[in-house]
Amino acid sequence: MGSMLQQRSLTHMPIRSPNVTELPPLSPTLETLRQHVLEHSVKHGEFVLKSGATSTWFLDTKQTACRADGILAVTDALIEVFGADLDGIDAIGGLTMGADPLAYGVAAVLATRGSRLRSFSVRKEPKAGGITGRIAGALQPGDRVLVTEDTTTRGTSLVEAAEQIAEFGAEPVLMSVIVDRGGTCAAMAADRNIDYRALLTAPDLGFGFGT
């Protein structure tokens, strides 16, 4: 994860801590996603953050987004969290690579359920000789977009993606992540009139925001 500079030690076998009975209650759909994240994406050890502070947990939600059962759980969660608002969305994507497995996987799963949602990536830099700047994929001008990423701490990658999407001529309407670790992205999205809804938060996993 981008917020981690150094890993001092790591317990390779996932540890479910704290006990699930201590966690906030969730719907059955979100509980399925939470259990997948706890089993596959949360690691325990000692990690140094960019700020210099240490953390006792590491979150690699690509371990959920890159598993078939994980992306099914993510798709079901998005459908539950956004409901009919998803019907007005044309495309899903965000800053590479954090958004890629999520955007491509969700679009593929939804295609089996009758959706025509297209997917795309926002490059870190424009491609030399390219004609679409930093956009790669099936995004089209005028599209209404769900901006996404696997995990966010500060929200800066999501906002950067939203700005590039708008510059391309599409409209960032919705925004979501598998896990919001920092708790600051909602306000940043609201400032830009984007409807932000995280599927899970750090407290849902038993940890404080920003820890």
pLDDT, one tens digit per residue, over 161-196 is: 999 999 999 999 999 999 999 999 999 999 999 999
Percent with pLDDT over 90 in the chain: 77
115-121: average pLDDT: 96
In angstroms, rounded to a whole number, what is the distance separating the alpha carbons of residues 10 and 17? 15
CATH architecture for residues 65-204: 3-Layer(aba) Sandwich (3.40)
pTM of the model: 0.87
Quick one: pLDDT at residue 51?
Answer: 59
130 falls in which pLDDT band (50, 70, 90)? low
Quick one: pLDDT at residue 127?
Answer: 81
Which residue in 172, 82, 178 sits closest to 120, CA to CA? 172
Residue ranges covered by each domain of the chain: 4-62, 65-204
Quick one: pLDDT at residue 211?
Answer: 84
Quick one: pLDDT at residue 16?
Answer: 43
